[in-house]
Amino acid sequence: MTSPSPVHYLSTLSFPDRWLDRLRARHPRLVVTQLTAKTAADIPAQVWRRTQILHTSSVLPDSPAAAPGLSWIQLDTSGADHLKGTSVWDLPVPLTSIGGISPVPMAEYVMMMLLGLAHRLPRAIAVQQSGTWPSLGERWNTLMPRRLRGATVGVIGYGRIGHEVGRLAAQFGMTVLGLKRDRAPRGGAFFGAPAGESGEAELYTPDRLHAFLGRCDHLVVTCPLTDETRGMMDAAAFAALKDGAMVVNVSRGGIVDEAALRASLRSGRVAGAALDVFDEEPLPAGHPWWTEPNVVLTPHVAGFAPDYEEQTLELVGANVERFLAGRELINLVDRSRGY
């Protein structure tokens, strides 16, 4: 009896040996190679030629001819916007994401920031840094918290992350609005909201964006970057946003017009913001966001998952099983949608 042929898997990432050994043990047919790379040139040509499964963030073969056997690309990112226009975008090769690994820590990050902004965290940090105890009147006027219970939070992008944000926000007694492209759930997802625990949300579609924004005491942006979402939070959108709203952005740079957001912060229309993503990353020294009042800034860390390796092994392992069996993969990227 002929033994099954080997399948060549290439990681351009930096998983520890124990992770790679567990993947090998789970799938004996896999010939696992890991070459931590920043560009395609860091991978020898003979490795590209034999690669069938590519696990990467953004390192891709220079051309289809460089990797003729490539049959599946597993991304180490939740989004796929960075692949548009590359050598693989138009290939008939499935792309899968790691969407579903980060919804829980991202939703916790969002709630941390909603609480922090409501309780005037930027102002409290400024007081600490000043080294001066403010008067009772100053504390009353500048550190009085805003109520979350009974407030309305709107979530742009009511998918896996948005559902988890909604579930947690509902526990704080908040009214939850969700804005999403359509109401139909997408199949084949690695992570879905637990049954009965997704948090009820009143749903809006993008054509009603301004009506949606007019109801938001707090706005959370979690949607993917696509042609449709690029620049959607522009000056007109901020003008439609409820006066004095707080904004939390954990999506991608390019969705929120940063100049419009800064203008809204400085006019007081937006009372505070927590930002984890930016148009330019790394954010350069001297950039206005570093010192903007009433803003909490973090360096694109909201999606860090403490059990990332274990969940990634579970996802990749399940997808390898499906790939070897010729079944549909989990977390397939829909190129027509861009995510």
**Other CB atoms closer than 10 Å to residue 28's CB: what's the count?**
10
Residues constituting the chain? 339
Domain-wise residue ranges, the chain: 7-100+306-325, 103-297
The DSSP code for 161 is H
pLDDT of residue 87: 85
Give me the catalytic one of 120, 160, 218, 252.
252
Angle 116-117-119 (CA atoms, 0-180°, nearest 5)? 65
Concerning whether 300 is annotated as a catalytic residue, the answer is yes
What share of the chain has pLDDT > 70, as a percent? 94
Fold of 7-100+306-325: Rossmann fold (3.40.50)
Structure tokens at 285: 């020294």
pLDDT of residue 191: 61
pLDDT of residue 194: 47
Fold of 103-297: Rossmann fold (3.40.50)
pLDDT of residue 3: 67
Helix (H) or strand (E) holding 237: helix 235-240
Q: How far apart are CA 222 and CA 219, in angstroms?
A: 10
Give me the catalytic one of 27, 50, 262, 300.
300
**Other CB atoms closer than 10 Å to residue 221's CB: what's the count?**
25
Concerning whether 281 is annotated as a catalytic residue, the answer is yes
pLDDT of residue 198: 46
- Averages of pLDDT over runs of 10 residues in the chain (339 residues) are 84 97 96 97 97 97 96 94 90 94 95 97 94 97 96 96 96 97 65 51 96 98 94 98 98 97 97 97 96 95 94 96 96 91
Give me the catalytic one of 138, 281, 310, 328.
281
pLDDT of residue 195: 41
Which is nearest to 120 in space by CA: 108, 106, 105, 134? 134
Concerning whether 337 is annotated as a catalytic residue, the answer is no
Angle 56-96-209 (CA atoms, 0-180°, nearest 5)? 115
The DSSP code for 225 is P
Topology agreement, domain 7-100+306-325 and domain 103-297: yes
